[in-house]
Amino acid sequence: MPTNTSSPAVIEVTPYTQQQPRWYCEQLEHGKVLSFRKAPFPFSEDDARFLLSQKQTGSRFHKNISYRPASDVLKGADPGADRERLHTIVRNFSREVTQFISSFLAPYAGKLKLDFASFRPLEEQGRDLPLHKRNDLLHVDAFPTRPTRGGRILRAFLNINPAASRVWNVGEPFHEFLPKLKHREVITPPPRNPALTALRKLGSRIGLPVPDRAPYDEYMLFLHDWLKENTDFQTSSPKWELQFAPGSCWMVYTDGVPHAVMSGRYALEQTFIVPAQALVSPEVAPVNVLHKIAGMEAIQI
Ligand code: SIN
Ligand code: FE
């Protein structure tokens, strides 16, 4: 059996504790973080050194460098940067991590939707951000511009900082914390405006950049903000500190595991959307947990 570290939230994956791909998918879907001491895919020291040498000017709008695999577009790099090299490195990272996940998590192969990747050069500790954008408060992820319509958000991170861990807090997974929330009944997004919903659907169908959100997506966006606002959840819900050492890699369903980044800089990250049909444990997917809870039948996808 793989050894759990001191935190019940993490499973360390080592060459000596190999399990079947399906088992790893199950653990992830049930809210475990899978962690690797070193990147389980090729990533060169040279590339890491180059990324560490990049000096972003820290403009508020370009906090992270993002990469869109579908269109091969890199955004957010400073004009002075060697953008071509940066682009090549993030593109290669995205390809390598995707290839690894397609075999390590074989049940998902061919079904994953590749979302954005990013390079996160800024120190997370002490960032001055508006409440809903703060990443040091526990939250589950939901993307305003990219509705998943019930699909799950899987993310893989690599800490390329040679000198410091990336420190997270994580909480109990969705199927455990959500049913226990005392104020569940008040976590209800405002009613949808039918005219606006129809307009969005139309806009998105003809290719305008407007998100066609399902009620599920609106619920998850609302929950993201609600959790950050809720002092009781922030202070009293069970949580564990995880330290991701220099050079380590980890993956987690961030739509299900409440997480907060407390410190660290220089991480690479790739996001995947895993459609409902690809899941091995659909019963613990947030959309199905919400369906099971009385009064939440309206959370449609
Ligand atoms: C997040 O909250 O999704 C970001 C986590 C991180 O950058 O470590
Ligand atoms: Fe997040």
The stretch 177-201 carries a mean pLDDT of 82
Ligand nearest to the CA of 269: 1
| pLDDT of 1 above 70 | no
Q: How far apart are CA 152 and CA 278, in angstroms?
A: 10
**N-term to C-term CA, the chain:** 37
Residues pairing with 66 in the sheet: 75, 118
pLDDT tens string 100-158: 999 999 999 999 999 999 999 999 999 989 999 999 999 999 999 999 999 999 999 99
Q: Is 135 in the pocket of ligand 1 (CB under 6 A)?
A: yes
Q: Please tell me if the CB atom of residue 30 comes closer than 6 angstroms to any atom of ligand 1.
A: no
Position 301 pLDDT exceeds 60: yes
Ligand 1 mutation target, pool 161, 261, 270, 271, most atoms within 8 A of CB: 261
Residue 168 Cα: closest atom of ligand 1: 8
- Establish whether residue 29 lines the binding site of ligand 1, counting it when its CB lies within 6 angstroms of any ligand atom: no
Alpha-carbon distance 259 to 255, whole Å? 9
pLDDT-wise least confident of 54-68, 84-98, 282-296: 54-68
Per-residue confidence (pLDDT) for residue 160, from 0 to 100? 98
Q: Is 138 helix (H, G, I), strand (E, B) or coil?
A: coil
What residue owns the CA closest to ligand 1's atom 6?
A: 261
159 CB within 6 A, ligand 1: no
| Other Cβ atoms within 10 Å of 300 Cβ, number | 13
Does the Cβ of 120 fall within 6 Å of ligand 1?
yes
DSSP secondary structure string, 199-242?
HHHHHHHTT-S-----HHHHHHHHHHHHHHH-HHHHHHS-EEEE
How many angstroms separate the alpha carbon of residue 219 from the centre of ligand 1? 20
Q: What's the gap in Å between 285 CA and the centre of ligand 2?
A: 17
Specify the higher pLDDT residue, 241 or 80: 241
The overall average pLDDT reported for the chain is: 91
Q: Which atom of ligand 1 is nearest to the CA of 157?
A: 8
205 pLDDT band, cuts 50/70/90, is: confident
Assign domain 10-292 one CATH number from 2.60.120, 3.40.1710, 3.40.50, 2.30.30.
2.60.120
Return the ligand number nearest the Cα of 167.
1
Determine the average pLDDT of the residues in 173-177.
96
In single-letter form, the type of residue at position 218 comes to E
What is the distance between the alpha carbons of residues 205 and 148, in angstroms, rounded to a whole number?
A: 16
Taking the CA of residue 269 as reference, the ligand 1 atom at the shortest distance is: 7
- Centre of ligand 2 to C-alpha 164, Å, is 20
Q: Give the pLDDT score at 16.
A: 84
String of DSSP letters for the chain? -PPB-SSTTEEE--TTS---HHHHHHHHHTTPEEEESS-SS---HHHHHHHHH------GGGSSEEEETTTTEEES--TTS-HHHHHHHHHHHHHHHHHHHHHHTGGGTTTPEEEEEEEE-S--TT----GGG-SSS-B----TTS--TT-EEEEEEEE--SS--EEEEEE--HHHHHHH-TTGGG--PPPP-HHHHHHHHHHHHTT-S-----HHHHHHHHHHHHHHH-HHHHHHS-EEEEEE-TT-EEEEETTTS-EEEEE---EEEEEEEE-GGG-S-GGGSHHHHHHHSTT-TT---
